[in-house]
């Protein structure tokens, strides 16, 4: 199995755990918790900031010393926009499940500090359709660069069955603004129905990195550098939650030159 593909290591509790140390990079962390009603998870952000994304289910949330109430509502990541919570560095947070709950914890270094805890409601989120034809996908911006945070960029994408996504292939692995930014990235994948599969390739121009992976429900793919397109099979919609971070909080990418004609046409 590719070293870039992380399989869930259980069906209950913390089932995915990606740290900068385990990924061999600098910025992005990602955890996925599956909790039953009454169970709790909590953490101290330390020198990092976090974005808690309610992938499915509901929970009572506290962060930064404040009770935020019961958040969440989706029964599926394919059924509407998520509830999320931004938690700055140096803060304690906790979530107690009130239903079966899948909670994603996205993290990256805190830099400036001083930002407040905030609830990000579904109605706060912008949505857009990218691409046309069999390259159509639906994008929900949870924590875009236009919203306050120190390092994190967080977005959800739903790709209809039979479509490509993150395509034409693009990369963001050079700190060369304004033309390109250096951003590590994780993809947390879900499929509907869940027994389906999709494909993702991660590769560089010189092919020193070139990994093609079959993606199943719950897999995480690490993108340390290079291009990273996806494609899902007939009959199966693909959801993914992206977490990005780097030395500067800006998303600027470069398309693969040999595929640039797809954009122009």
More confident residue, 62 or 126: 62
Name 56's Cβ contacts closer than 8 Å, sequence gap at least 6: 72, 74, 75, 76, 77, 100, 101, 102
Please state the rounded mean pLDDT for residues 247-264. 94
Q: Given a cut of 80, is residue 123 above it in pLDDT?
A: yes
Average pLDDT, the chain: 96
pLDDT digits (tens, 9 = 90+) for 126-175: 999 999 999 999 999 999 999 999 999 999 999 999 999 999 999 999 99
Our count of domains for the chain comes to: 1
- Residue 107's domain is classified under what CATH number? 2.60.120.10
pLDDT digits (tens, 9 = 90+) for 221-251: 999 999 999 999 999 999 999 999 999 999 9
Give long-range contacts, CB 8 A cutoff, 24+ apart: 120-126: 120/51, 120/83, 120/84, 120/85, 120/86, 121/83, 122/73, 122/80, 122/81, 122/82, 122/83, 123/81, 125/81, 125/82
Instruction: Please give the structure tokens belonging to residue 78.
Output: 């394919």
Residue 15 and residue 9 in contact, taking contact as beta carbons nearer than 8 Å:
yes
pLDDT digits (tens, 9 = 90+) for 92-115: 999 999 999 999 999 999 987 789
Work out the percent of the chain whose per-residue pLDDT is above 90. 96
- At 111 the pLDDT is 87
Residue 36's domain spans which residues? 5-264
- At 222 the pLDDT is 98
């Amino acid at each position: 199995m590719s070293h870039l593909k992380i399989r869930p290591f259980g069906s209950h509790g913390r089932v995915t755990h990606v740290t900068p140390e385990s990924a061999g990079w600098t910025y992005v962390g990602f955890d996925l918790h599956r909790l039953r009603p009454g169970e709790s998870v909590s953490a101290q952000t330390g020198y990092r900031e976090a974005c808690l994304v309610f992938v499915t289910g509901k929970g009572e949330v506290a962060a930064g010393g404040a009770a935020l109430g019961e958040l969440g509502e989706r029964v599926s990541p394919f059924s509407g926009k998520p509830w999320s919570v931004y938690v700055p560095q140096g803060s304690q947070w906790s979530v107690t499940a009130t239903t079966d709950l899948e909670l994603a914890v996205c993290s990256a270094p805190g830099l400036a500090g001083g930002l407040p805890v905030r609830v990000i409601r579904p109605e706060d989120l912008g949505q857009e359709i990218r691409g046309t034809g069999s390259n159509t996908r639906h994008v929900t911006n949870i924590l875009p660069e236009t919203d306050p945070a120190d390092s994190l960029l967080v977005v959800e994408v739903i790709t209809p069955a039979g479509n490509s996504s993150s395509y034409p292939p693009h990369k963001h692995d050079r700190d060369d603004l304004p033309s390109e930014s250096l951003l590590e990235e994780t993809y947390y994948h879900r499929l509907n129905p869940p027994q389906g599969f999709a494909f993702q390739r991660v590769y560089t121009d010189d092919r020193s990195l070139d990994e093609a992976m079959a993606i199943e429900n719950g897999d995480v793919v690490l993108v340390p550098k290079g291009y990273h397109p996806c494609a899902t099979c007939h009959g199966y919609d693909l959801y993914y939650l992206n977490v990005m971070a780097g030395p500067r909080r800006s998303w600027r990418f470069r398309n693969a030159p040999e595929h640039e004609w797809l954009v122009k046409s």
